[in-house]
């Protein structure tokens, strides 16, 4: 049996806290963006790193308002989410130079939403050859950098705007 050894990853996943409320409501309300991995705030929406990313730079865009679906979003929220998706694409391309990106919204638990009650969009940088069976077979994701390093890189890019 082959073994993939990444002892730093244990510290990363073992310190994750189970949220009693809604993480997309609770984290921005705390006003501690570094601790909560919020890389950018706009007036109606914000950009936050995924604590359990598929790849380095996996971001999510969410409204401050606790709404479950895109149809529940005001035109202003929906427009700002797309504006932030464009800005997020720009910064991910600059910082990580991905060959492509996945952007998507999972509406409802059966559609894959991990937080089904609060609308959010995933933005995932991708590279040719990054798809493998580790996630499916080994229930493991291989990340090349610590999430705090990812936060500093992307928060710095957003501050530059």
Return the active site residues.
Answer: 120
100-104, strands of its sheet edge to edge = 38-41, 45-49, 59-63, 121-126, 100-104
Residue in the structure block whose two tokens are 């989410």: 81
Rounded Cα distance between 36 and 140, Å, is: 23
Rounded Cα distance between 71 and 89, Å, is: 24
């Amino acid at each position: 049996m082959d073994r993939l050894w990444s002892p730093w990853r244990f510290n990363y996943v073992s310190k994750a806290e189970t949220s009693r409320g809604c993480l997309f409501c609770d984290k921005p309300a705390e006003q501690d963006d570094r601790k909560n991995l919020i890389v950018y705030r706009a007036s109606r929406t914000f950009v936050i790193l995924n604590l359990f990313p598929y790849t380095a730079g996996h971001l999510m865009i969410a409204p401050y308002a606790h709404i479950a679906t895109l149809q529940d979003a005001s035109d202003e929220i929906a427009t700002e989410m797309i504006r932030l998706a464009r800005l997020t694409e720009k910064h991910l391309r600059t910082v990580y130079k991905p060959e492509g990106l996945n952007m998507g919204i999972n509406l409802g638990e059966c559609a894959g939403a991990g937080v089904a009650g609060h609308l959010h969009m995933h933005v995932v940088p991708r590279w040719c050859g990054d798809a493998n069976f580790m996630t499916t077979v080994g229930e493991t994701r291989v990340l090349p950098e610590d999430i705090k390093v990812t936060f500093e890189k992307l928060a710095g890019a957003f501050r530059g705007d």
